[in-house]
Amino acid sequence: MIIERFLRYIKIDTKSDESSITCPSTQKQFDLLKVLESDLNEIGMDEVVLDENGYLFATLNSNIEKEVPTIGFLAHVDTAPSFSGENVNPKIIEKYNGEDIVLNEEKNIVLKTSDFPEILNYVGEEIITTDGTTLLGADDKAGVTEIIESLKYIIDNNLKHGTIKVGFTPDEEIGRGADKFNVKAFGADYAYTIDGGELGELEYENFNAASALININGINVHPGSSKNKMRNALRIGMELDSLLPEFDRPEYTENYEGFFHLLNMTGDVEHLKMHYIIRDHFMDKFNNRKDLMLNAVNYLNKKYPEGTVELKLTDSYFNMKEKIMPVYHIVESAKNAMEEVGVEPIIVPVRGGTDGSKLSYMGLPTPNIFTGGHNFHGKFEFIPTNSMRKAVEVIVKIVELSVR
């Protein structure tokens, strides 16, 4: 049933749109949310409510007399705007043989083991891939599927449980998933996002994050008569980038190493726009990175006329570790649940952010648990079905451990 449910959900296009000012950013996210609303009612959940902003909440009321913590499980319905999520046509490989996978013969799109050697960990297992023309949508429809299947199992088998809260949110991929989340109304003591990667991932640390929007104002003069007159915004932009550490870029960093990432650059001699994201796990280093960006801009405004370079520096989210450590037992609970169902925990820092990072600062401590997927946001995305089943077992075991 889990695979059928997952395949049904990924067929529904829910790509979010960062240029939109609405919530949700795309109305088509409601196409899946309404299906999920029906499915939650069908499995026997209580108090199923879908609001006008695209937040779907449900409760499974406690069936025990003693008081235990109220646990929440969260996932997001949108898929990344960076790649198509329309007309998803998955391929199911029933028993992976360890060779390269031809995703699309006509377009010669191949998932190569040399590029993605981690797939060799799943030789002999059933794997779901894309057809090479879209993403798969396991981020985070796998998480949505796993939560619903877990609750269905708990209800169908009349397992003992405290109150369980469920939340399916919009727009996580564009950083707005928690913006209109009502933590008090949700009513959980703590929660888990089911939004991680490979089997066993357990995360309670993420980047501190900021966005740097830069406008560079140049002067364009005919190149034949431009001496001492032209101020080339493109070259000033290149100069700014050269003032940042050369190897503090995503392609050179891993684990706890932070970076500056130039996301896009558009313009001409007269005017240039640049967009950087700044990331670091450690607050002191994060602040140093922001200072370095500010100093680079100030230097250029002294070298060139004041106002040549304009900077808008905005914090995006912070490392949830600060809010998780006082209640670290919730990480231990997830770790113990994994071990009890035969999954080796892989505790790693998130090299990004999750809804859990914002929610933790809003008063709902929320670590992140694996979905089982790999290579999110692109055509080489895949997920082993056994990893999805194990995610279900972990969620059920967390609930079981909470009432012991």
Tell me the chain's radius of gyration from C-alpha atoms: 23
Q: Give 91's contacts (C-beta < 8 A, 6+ positions apart).
A: 101, 103, 128, 129, 130, 131
Options 131, 171, 172, 195, the catalytic residue: 172
Tokens matching residue 320:
């949830």
Alpha-carbon distance values, 314 to 209, 292, 378 (Å): 9, 14, 28
Number of neighbouring beta carbons within 10 Å of residue 157: 8
Which DSSP string corresponds to 191-254? EEEEEE-STTEEE--B-EEEEEEEEEE-B---GGG-TTT-B-HHHHHHHHHHTS-TT-SGGG--
Tell me the C-alpha distance between 50 and 315, whole Å.
30
Stated length of the chain: 404
Options 78, 149, 280, 355, the catalytic residue: 78
Tokens matching residue 266:
């558009």
**CA 317 to chain centroid:** 13
In contact, 178 and 84? CB cutoff 8 Å: no
Q: Where are the alpha helices (DSSP H) in 69-159?
A: 138-156
Look up 172 and say whether it is catalytic: yes
Q: Which residues are catalytic?
A: 78, 172
